[in-house]
Amino acid sequence: MKVNFLKTGFWIGMIPIFGVTFLFLLFYGSREVFALDINVDGIGFLFLLLSSLLVLTGIISTLISIFTQKQIKKSVFVLLIIFLSIPVILEITKLHANISSRGYIELVNESGINFQDVQIEEPDEHHFFSKLRNKKSQIIYFHPDYGTYNEKQLAGMNQNYLLLQTTYDNYLKIKIPTIHPGEIHKIIIDKNLNLTDYHINKIE
């Protein structure tokens, strides 16, 4: 059976980009859509190591096709695609790191009030989100204030507030629980406007 080195090189070379993209979408979607923590770090690291071998195998197989199948133009095109997949994979790993540093909150409104605006107030920054109607939920995120280390406590970490707009010119300001980078919380706003915090994953 004759081996088609060009096709073999292409598909082996594409496995890393498909695999990394799948793992990233699984990780991203679980947080953005469901506020769940699906940890792909371990399998992702192993897959990146495997990807280096697969990319190298794809390149070698494609180079062999140049001499055996004499399809120079197609081989060069395949090599270009394989090489271009490398910076794409690196960019995806950067996005993963950025998302991993976010603090996610699933806000559940059980207050009986339709909030016209939802904000997170940090010591030096505001984050604006959409309205939150009664009996509805909303997934929001922000990058918890880093500042500098002070006796193992990140500056500003305990100074974040939830701002809820009830009327045109009235906001409720409620201190939110400490949220570390990478953590996911489910916070329920009850009828007394108290917050009940469910810690989905604990980083600290």
Quick: pLDDT tens for 115-153: 999 999 988 788 899 999 999 999 999 888 655 555 455
Chain centroid to CA 185: 15
Mean pLDDT calculated for residue range 170-193 = 92
- Integer Cα distance of 5 and 79 in angstroms: 12
- Integer Cα distance of 162 and 171 in angstroms: 10
SS3 113: coil
Residue reference for tokens 């339709």: 114
Strand partners, 185: 105, 199
Provide the residue ranges of all domains of the chain, joining segments of one domain with +.
Answer: 5-100, 103-201
Q: Is the pLDDT of residue 156 over 70?
A: no
The pTM of the full predicted model, rounded to 2 decimals, is 0.84
Q: Is the pLDDT of residue 106 over 70?
A: yes
Q: Is the pLDDT of residue 169 over 80?
A: yes
- Integer Cα distance of 204 and 202 in angstroms: 6
Q: What local confidence, expressed as pLDDT, does residue 125 receive?
A: 82
SS3 28: helix
Return the higher-pLDDT residue of 13 and 168: 13
Contact (CB, 8 A) for 139 and 35: yes
Q: What local confidence, expressed as pLDDT, does residue 1 receive?
A: 58
Structure tokens at 73: 């133009």
Class level of CATH domain 103-201: mainly beta
Contact (CB, 8 A) for 197 and 187: yes
Q: What local confidence, expressed as pLDDT, does residue 154 receive?
A: 54
